[in-house]
Amino acid sequence: MTTSSSAPDPAGPVFISYRQEDGTDITAELAWLLRAAGIPVWRDRDDLPPGDTEVRLQQAIAAGISAGVLVTTPDVANSRVVKMLEAPHLLQLHRDHEVFALGIANSVRTTNAGTDYDAPDRLLELRPGTLSGVNQQPTHRDGLLALTRGLVWHRIASLRERVQDSDQTFRLSLQTRNTPQVYDRTGDELDIRLRPSDHDRLPSGDGLRDLKDIVGLLPDAVTRSGADCVRVSGGAHLSVAFAVAAALPSSRVGHMVILDQRGDIWASDGEARFIAQPHVQMENEGVNPSASSAGRPSVAIYVDLLPQRSDTAFTRYIEDNRSLLVAWRHLTSSRGAVLNPSDGGLIAADVAARIRELSYENSNAEVHLLLRCPFPLALLIGRLTNTLRVTVYEWDDSDPTGEDDYRARYVPSLRVRAAATAGAIEEVLLP
C-alpha cells in the first residue's frame, strides 16, 4: 500500500487498527467514545465492505481519514494485516502529514502490572523507539478517554482555519436514533453519535454514559476553534439535545442556530427573559406545602408545545410524584398551532425564564423537566439554563413490566447542570 494517492482529511474519520481475537472489546469501547465525542470511526466490522483486505483498506483510506489508532494487544503479533498493511500505512501517513494524528491504545502490561510502552514497537516488529513520540494510553476507561481527548483537540486544531473561514461558525451534527457508522458522517467539525438503543423509545443508557464522560470536551472544542456561533443539525432524544446545549450555555457561546430536518432555521435570542407578547401560556399549576423537605426542594414543569395536547403522561407523573414536589406547572403554546421556527428564540427565552422563575420561587429548587416540543427547542431551552439543576425526562409508551397501568409515562434520563466543572451531565438516570 502507498500513501501518495490520498492526503488526510482533517474532518474525516479515525481508522482503528486492531486484532479481533483480543482487541474487539477495547476497540468497541474506544469507537463509542470517539463517536460520542463527535469523531466518526472507520472500523472493519462496522464499515468495511466484504472483499480483499488490502483493497478494502485502500478504499477506506482513499475516502479520507483524519487519524489512526493502533490497538496494541498481545495477539497483534500474530496479525499479518495489522503488522504488514495497517500499521505501516498509518505510520507513513503520520510521518508525511502533520495534520494526521496517530494514537496507540496499549493493553500490554509489564511484570509489575504497568503499561509496557515498548510493546507496540516489539509486537509490530518495528525498530525500537519508532513509536516513542506517539500518544500512547492504557486501555482502561480513563486511558481511552485520554486518547479520545487528544484526538478531539488535534481535530479541532486542524479545523480551526476552516471554522474561521466559515463565518466563525462551528458545525455540529447530533443523532441518537441512527445506527452509527462511517457513512453517517456529515463533514461537520463534530458528528456526535451514541450507541443504538434496544428500547423502542428511550436512548441507550450506555450511550448516555459515554456522552457524560466526554461532554465536558464540547465547550472547550468550540472555544479552541475560535467560533462565536454553533450550528446544530440532526435529530436526537430530547434529553440528549437539552444536555448537549446545556454544555454550550449562552454565557459561553454567544449564538446558536439549529437546522431542523425540514431545512428550517431556529436561532437563539439572547438570555432567558419574559416576552411581552408570549407564545407560551401557563395551562395549570399546583403546589404542595407538605412535600418532603429532605434535601433540596423539587419542582416540575411540563413544556408541551406541540399542536395537539397530550396530558396523560404528565398527569401520571404528578400522581406518582406529588409527595416529592413543592410546585409544578404545565406550559402550552398560546397559539395552538405548529410553531414557526422564526419564533424559536423568543419561545425558548420565555420558557427558560418560566423554568428559572419556578426554581427561584422555591428556594433554588431542582427542576424536573418534561419536554414535549420540537428538537430545536430542546436545544434552545437547554443553553439558557445556566446555574439551574435540572433532571430531564424521556417520554415512554412501551408496555409496562409487572403492572397494569398502560398509560404513557415520563422516565428520568439525565441530571444536568450547565455550570458543573466536570461536564454538564452530572448523572445518567436510565439503567
What does the domain layout of the chain look like in residue ranges?
Answer: 14-156, 165-265, 269-428
What superfamily does domain 14-156 belong to in CATH?
Toll/interleukin-1 receptor homology (TIR) domain (3.40.50.10140)
**CATH number of this structure's domain 269-428:** 3.40.50
- Across the range 320-349, mean pLDDT stands at 93
pLDDT at 56 (0 to 100): 66
Predicted TM-score (pTM) of the model is: 0.94
Q: How do residues 400-419 score in pLDDT, each as one tens digit?
A: 887 889 999 999 999 999 98
Confidence category of residue 5, pLDDT binned at 50, 70, 90 = very low
Q: How do residues 231-279 score in pLDDT, each as one tens digit?
A: 999 999 999 999 999 999 998 888 999 999 999 999 998 899 999 888 8
Average pLDDT, the chain: 92
Q: Which of 15-24, 141-150, 177-186 is predicted least confidently?
A: 177-186
Confidence category of residue 348, pLDDT binned at 50, 70, 90 = very high
pLDDT at 311 (0 to 100): 95
Confidence category of residue 45, pLDDT binned at 50, 70, 90 = low
Q: What is the 3-state secondary structure (H, E, C) of the chain?
A: CCCCCCCCCCCCCEEEECCHHHHHHHHHHHHHHHHHHCCCEECHHHHCCCCCHHHHHHHHHHCCCCEEEEEECHHHHHCHHHHHHHHHHHHHHHHHCCCCEEEEEECCECCCCCECCCHHHHHCCCCCCCCCCCEEEECCHHHHHHHHHHHHHHHHHHHHHHHHCCCCEEEEEEECCCCCCHHHCCCCCEEEECCCCCCCCCCCHHHHHHHHHHCCHHHHHHHHHCCCEEEEEEECCHHHHHHHHHCCCCCCCCEEEEECCCCCEEECCCCCCCCCCCCEEEEEEEECCCCCCCCCCEEEEEEECCCCCCCHHHHHHHHHHHHHCCEEEEEEECCCCCCCHHHHHHHHHHHHHHHHHHHHCCCCCEEEEEEECCHHHHHHHHCCCCCCCEEEEEEECCCCCCCCCCCCEEEEEEEECCCCCCCCEEEECCC
Answer whether 14-156 and 269-428 agree in fold: yes
- Across the range 153-167, mean pLDDT stands at 96
pLDDT at 46 (0 to 100): 63
Q: How do residues 279-306 score in pLDDT, each as one tens digit?
A: 899 999 999 988 877 889 999 999 999 9
Grid cell 430536518 — which residue? 261
Question: Does position 93 have pLDDT exceeding 50, yes or no?
Answer: yes
- Across the range 123-145, mean pLDDT stands at 96
